[in-house]
A and B are shown apart, each in its own frame.
Chain A
Amino acid sequence: MSRLNPGNVELARTIISRYPRPRSALIPLLHVAQEQEGWVSPEAMAHIAELVDLAPAEVLGTASFYGMFKREPVGRYVVSVCTNISCLLLGGEELLEHCERTLGIKPGATTSDGMFTLEDVECIAACTDAPCLQVNYRYFLRISHDEVDALVDDLRAGRRTDEVPPHGTLTRIRQDIRPERWVGRGAEGLPPEIR
C-alpha cells in the first residue's frame, strides 16, 4: 500500500497534460496505480486525487464503477473465463468448472499462494474463438482443458512471463509523443488552421 513512485508521478503528469481537463486522466492514472501494486489501494487513490485536484471520494466513486479496478489485493495472475452466450454454447461453463478444479478455488477467490485469482466474466470479445479466457487480459483462444493445466503449470513455475506480465500491467508500450510534435491546442476556442 503506497503512493505512486516518483517515476509514476512523472508518467501521471505526462498523461494529465494530454487532456483538456485533468479529470479525464483519472482512469488511465488508476491503471498506472494498479500496475505499480497489482491493485488500487486507498493510498494510491488519495495520491491520484491530489494529482488531478479531486477529493479522494470522487476518485473512489469513479474507480468503483469499473470492474477492472481491484480495490483489494488479487493474485499475480487473474484468470478470467468467459461464460457468456458464444462461449456458453461451446463449453465455457465446463471450462470454468475445469479451472475451479485445477486451481482449487471458486470464482472470486485467490489461491493460498497468492498466484491466481479466478473470475467468471462477461464477454471478452473473442466470441468466434470460443471457449476462451484471459490471464491478466492476455487472450487464450479455443483453449482446451489440457492447455489450461499446462498454462497454470507454466505460470506457477515462472515461465511465459513475456506473454503474461503480472496483474496490473496493461500496455507494455505506451503512447510516446515528442514535445516538438505535440500541438496542445485541444481546449482552444478557435477552429484549427486549415490552408
Chain B
Amino acid sequence: MAVSDRSPIVTTRFERGDAHTLEGYLATGGYAALRKALAMTPDEVIEQVKAANLQGRGGAGFPAGAKWSFLPKDVFPRYFVVNGDESEPGTCKDRPLMERDPHQLIEGLLISCYAVRASQAFIYVRGEMALAQERLAIALNGAYAAGYIGKDILGSGWSLDVVLHWGAGAYIVGEETALIESLEGQRGMPRLKPPYFPAAKGLYMQPTVVNNVETLSYIPWVLQHGGEAYAAIGTEKATGLRLFALSGHVRRPGVYEVEMGTTTFRDLVEAPVYGGGMRHGNKLKAFVPGGASAPWFYPEQLDLPLDSSVVGPAGSMLGSGAVVIMDETTCAVRAAWRLVRFFAHESCGKCTPCREGASWIEKIMRRIEKGTGREEDLDLLLDVGDNISPGPFPRPAVDGEEAVPFPYKQTTICPLGPSTVSPVHSSIFRFRDEYRIHIKEGGCPYG
C-alpha cells in the first residue's frame, strides 16, 4: 500500500484551536508568505502559481494560474471572489478550512488579489455555516486592525478591502456565474455562456476571478516554498496534496489531506491512516468518486489513482473531492433516488430540460422505491435523462463493456442537469436487477 508520508500543508493548524485568532496564526508562521509576495512583482507571483500547477478544488479542476491569465489586460475595476458555498453532497472540506484556519485562506486571498491586481475581494460563505462565518469575521477583524488588510497593507503602499458575504441556502450558487448573480443580490441562476469565464465578464460585468476556498488555502505554501516545490509533489499530471472527504461505510470517515496521483481509491478506503477498511468488514458495492454529481465507480475501479487525467477517461471525475462509500447493505435504488431528490430540489428552474426533467426523474424513482414502479419505467428514466444529457453517458469499464469518458454532454447551461442523470444512469447500468426486483415485488427488498 502506497500511502505517502508527505507532511500535510493546509491542515497543519487544525488541532490548535486558536488559528482563527491573529496571535495563533502568527505564532505558526502566518503572513510570512504575504510579506514575501509583497516584495515581488504581481507577475512574479503569478509565475509561481502557474509553476505550481495548482488545480482548482471547486469541482472543475481548472488550474488557478491559467484561470487568472484570462483576465483582460488593463480593465478595472476587477474583482476577486472566494467560493465558500460548499454544498455538493458528500463534500465537507472547505468548511474546516474556514472554521479552523481562516487566516490561511485570507492570506492566500491577499496574495492572489495582489497578483491579479484586484480592486476588491469578497468571501462568499455558505449561509448555513454559522461557525465558519464567525471564525472568518474574527480573523478578518484581526487582520484589518493589524494592517494585513485595508489601507497600505504592511506599509507596502498597496491597499485592498476584503468583505465577508454570506449566502442563504442554494446549492446552485456554487456554480461561479450563479455565485456572482447571488453576490449582486439576484436569484442565484447561472448565466448564459459564452463568456465562459467570469474573468472576461463577472461581478457587475467586470473582470472577476472566482476561486475555491481550498485552492486559495494552498497559495501561502506555494509562495513560501516556490511553485516548483509544489509541482514536485504527487505526479506530473496530478500535482500536490488535496483534501478528500471520505464518508459512508468505512471504519474511519474523515477529511484527509492526501498526495495526488500516487494515492489510489483503495488506499483511501483501506489504509489505517485513512478509511481503515470497510465498516463491519462488509463488501464494497459502489462508490461516488467525486461528489454527488459524479458517475459512480464500482469495486473494479478501486485501484485507480487520485488523478483527474486517469479518472476522467475512466468514466467519472474527482470533482469536489468527496468520496462516498456504499457497502453491500445499500439499496442502489434508494441511494440513487435520494441523490436525484437533491438535484430536483436544487434545480434553479432556468433551463427546461433540468427544471422539468429532474422532477420527473425524481417522481419516477420515488414510485419505484415505494413499490409502485412499472416495467417501462427504466426506459422512461433513461429517456428523460437523455433529454438532459444526450448519451452515451459516462461510465467506467465493467462487465466487458468499455468506459465512456467524462465529461457528460448537456442541453442545459450548467452541469446541474446532467448531475441528476449520474446516479440514475450509474445505478441502472450496474444494478438493473435491483430495479426489476423493486418493480416486480412491489417494494424495496432492503426494507
Does the CB pair A128–B167 fall under 8 Å? no
A66 to B173, CA, bound (A): 10
A68 to B255, CA, bound (A): 27
A155 to B129, CA, bound (A): 20
Does the CB pair B184–A23 fall under 8 Å? yes
Residues of B within 8 A of A102 (CB): none
Shortest C-beta distance, A180 to chain B (Å), equals: 7
A157 at the interface (CB under 8 A from B): no
Also in contact, A122 and B126, with CB within 8 A (given A86-B324, A127-B324): no
Residues of A within 8 A of B187 (CB): 61-62, 65
A69 at the interface (CB under 8 A from B): yes
Does the CB pair B334–A85 fall under 8 Å? no
Does the CB pair B150–A86 fall under 8 Å? no
A192 to B115, CA, bound (A): 11
Shortest C-beta distance, A128 to chain B (Å), equals: 4
Our pick among B89, B126, B129 for the contact of A86 (Cβ within 8 Å) is B89
Does the CB pair A137–B130 fall under 8 Å? yes
Does the CB pair B157–A181 fall under 8 Å? no
Residue of B117, B128, B254, B324 with most chain A CB atoms under a 10 A cut-off: B128
B62 at the interface (CB under 8 A from A): no
A95 at the interface (CB under 8 A from B): no
At the interface with chain B, which of A14-22, A110-118, A146-154?
A14-22
Residues of A within 8 A of B307 (CB): none
Does the CB pair B164–A175 fall under 8 Å? yes
**B215-235 vs A, Cβ < 8 Å mask (1 yes, 0 no):** 000000000000000000000
Does the CB pair A178–B128 fall under 8 Å? no
Shortest C-beta distance, B378 to chain A (Å), equals: 21
Residues of B within 8 A of A182 (CB): 150-151, 161
Residue of A124, A125, A191, A192 with most chain B CB atoms under a 10 A cut-off: A125
Does the CB pair B140–A171 fall under 8 Å? no
Does the CB pair A186–B161 fall under 8 Å? yes
Does the CB pair A128–B119 fall under 8 Å? no
Q: How many residues of B contact A (CB 8 A)?
A: 84
B397 at the interface (CB under 8 A from A): no
Q: How many residues of A contact B (CB 8 A)?
A: 67
Also in contact, A191 and B76, with CB within 8 A (given A137-B130, A178-B145): yes
Shortest C-beta distance, B16 to chain A (Å), equals: 19
Does the CB pair A192–B141 fall under 8 Å? no
Does the CB pair B91–A125 fall under 8 Å? yes
Does the CB pair A84–B188 fall under 8 Å? no
- B152-194 contacts to A, CB under 8 A, are 156-161, 163-171, 182-188
Residues of B within 8 A of A190 (CB): 76
At the interface with chain A, which of B24-32, B244-252, B261-269?
B244-252
Also in contact, A193 and B158, with CB within 8 A (given A18-B163, A86-B89, A128-B247): yes
Residues of B within 8 A of A193 (CB): 157-159
**A147-170 vs B, Cβ < 8 Å mask (1 yes, 0 no):** 000000000000000000000001
Shortest C-beta distance, A121 to chain B (Å), equals: 8
Does the CB pair B165–A28 fall under 8 Å? yes
B127 at the interface (CB under 8 A from A): yes
Closest to B172 in A: A65
Shortest C-beta distance, A10 to chain B (Å), equals: 18
B305 at the interface (CB under 8 A from A): no
B316 at the interface (CB under 8 A from A): no
Does the CB pair B324–A128 fall under 8 Å? no
B114 at the interface (CB under 8 A from A): yes
A129 to B246, CA, bound (A): 10
A7 at the interface (CB under 8 A from B): no
Does the CB pair B137–A181 fall under 8 Å? no
- A80-118 contacts to B, CB under 8 A, are 80, 83-86, 88-90
Shortest C-beta distance, B291 to chain A (Å), equals: 10
At the interface with chain A, which of B4-12, B53-61, B335-343, B385-393?
B335-343
- B63-107 contacts to A, CB under 8 A, are 74, 76-77, 79, 86-92, 94-95
A145 to B170, CA, bound (A): 28
Does the CB pair A85–B339 fall under 8 Å? yes
Does the CB pair A123–B342 fall under 8 Å? yes
A90 to B134, CA, bound (A): 29
Shortest C-beta distance, B149 to chain A (Å), equals: 7
Does the CB pair A27–B166 fall under 8 Å? yes
Does the CB pair B131–A139 fall under 8 Å? yes
Q: Can you list 20 A-B contacts with CB-CB less than 8 angstroms, sorted by A residue number?
A: A21-B184, A23-B185, A24-B184, A27-B127, A28-B165, A28-B166, A68-B128, A84-B339, A85-B90, A124-B128, A128-B245, A128-B253, A134-B128, A137-B130, A175-B140, A176-B141, A176-B144, A181-B145, A187-B77, A192-B159
Query: A188-B77, A189-B77, A195-B157 given. 6 additional CB < 8 A pairs?
Result: A27-B165, A90-B249, A125-B92, A127-B91, A129-B253, A174-B137
Residues of A within 8 A of B (CB): 18-21, 23-28, 30-31, 52, 61-62, 65-69, 80, 83-86, 88-90, 122-130, 134, 136-139, 170-178, 180-195
Residues of B within 8 A of A (CB): 41-42, 74, 76-77, 79, 86-92, 94-95, 114, 117-120, 126-131, 133-134, 137-138, 140-141, 144-145, 147, 149-151, 156-161, 163-171, 182-188, 204, 245-249, 253-255, 288, 292, 322, 324-326, 330, 334-335, 338-339, 342, 345-346, 348
A-B pairs, 9 with minimum CB distance = A186-B120, A26-B185, A66-B168, A67-B169, A181-B150, A23-B185, A86-B247, A68-B169, A65-B187
